């Protein structure tokens, strides 16, 4: 299994991974979100990684840029979506995709990464709720699901503001 940045030719497989991993209706929405983000200029810079085994894509993670309104030039990203195919789950691939993404973003100078998801899963890779960054929309899920991680020590204590994400992720249905 190897992890690499996705290329244009991977789009069909990326759509399939999200479509087949989530339930049907969520799969339709999330797979479209993944493709929309990859084609969205307002998401740039973007980091999309795939996990590949025997020439087949079995996982995808996307980090797209966000602005933190009121926080000057803090470099921030949001993690969404993430999927690992059902028959390859629980082998650490999701964790590897997250950690490789965080490491790459850190090397590129990113300071903060946000995620809106299951705290039980994302806390395992260092995300925490209780920061001072407001979500772009009213949240459907409890505040604990709105988490952040600093890639530069101390940045979250000094940073507050409202997160503004890429247009394709900005639809209230995602929040």
Ligand X SMILES: CC(C)(COP(=O)(O)OP(=O)(O)OC[C@H]1O[C@@H](n2cnc3c(N)ncnc32)[C@H](O)[C@@H]1OP(=O)(O)O)[C@@H](O)C(=O)NCCC(=O)NCCS
User: Rule CB under 6 A: which residues touch ligand X?
Assistant: 21-22, 81-84, 89-95, 117-118, 120-121
Give the number of other CB atoms < 10 A from CB of residue 29. 15
* Residue 140 or 158 with smaller CB distance to ligand X: 140
User: 24-38 vs 11-21: helix axis angle to the nearest 10?
Assistant: 150
Residue 73 CB, nearest distance to ligand X (Å)? 28
* Rounded-to-integer distance, Cα 49 and Cα 53, Å: 13
Residue 23 CB, nearest distance to ligand X (Å)? 9
Residue 72 CB, nearest distance to ligand X (Å)? 29
Q: Do residues 86 and 171 lie in contact, with contact meaning Cβ atoms separated by under 8 Å? A: no
Q: Do residues 115 and 147 lie in contact, with contact meaning Cβ atoms separated by under 8 Å? A: yes
Task: Give the residue nearest to ligand X (CB).
Answer: 94
* Residue 111 or 116 with smaller CB distance to ligand X: 116
Residue 158 CB, nearest distance to ligand X (Å)? 28
Backbone angles phi, psi at 57, to 5 degrees: -85, 120
**62 pairs with which residues across the strands?**
48
Residue 104 CB, nearest distance to ligand X (Å)? 17
* Rounded-to-integer distance, Cα 172 and Cα 175, Å: 5
* Residue 103 or 118 with smaller CB distance to ligand X: 118
* Rounded-to-integer distance, Cα 135 and Cα 14, Å: 27
* Residue 18 or 131 with smaller CB distance to ligand X: 18
* Residue 22 or 175 with smaller CB distance to ligand X: 22
């Amino acid at each position: 299994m190897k992890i690499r940045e996705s290329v244009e030719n991977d789009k069909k497989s990326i759509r399939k991974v999200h479509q087949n991993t989530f339930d049907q209706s969520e799969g339709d929405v999330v797979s479209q979100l993944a493709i929309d983000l990859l084609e969205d200029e307002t998401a740039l810079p973007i980091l999309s990684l795939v996990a590949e085994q025997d020439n087949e894509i079995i996982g995808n993670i996307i980090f797209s840029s966000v602005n933190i309104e009121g926080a000057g030039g803090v470099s921030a990203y949001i993690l969404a979506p993430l999927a690992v195919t059902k028959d390859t789950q629980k082998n650490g691939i999701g964790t590897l995709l997250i950690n490789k993404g965080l490491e790459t973003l850190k090397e590129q100078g990113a300071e903060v990464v946000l995620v809106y998801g299951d705290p039980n899963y994302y806390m395992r890779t260092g995300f925490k709720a209780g920061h001072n960054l407001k979500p772009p929309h009213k949240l459907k899920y409890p505040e604990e699901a709105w988490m952040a991680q600093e890639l530069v020590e101390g940045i979250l204590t000094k940073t507050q503001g409202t997160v503004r994400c890429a247009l394709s992720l900005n639809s209230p249905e995602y929040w």
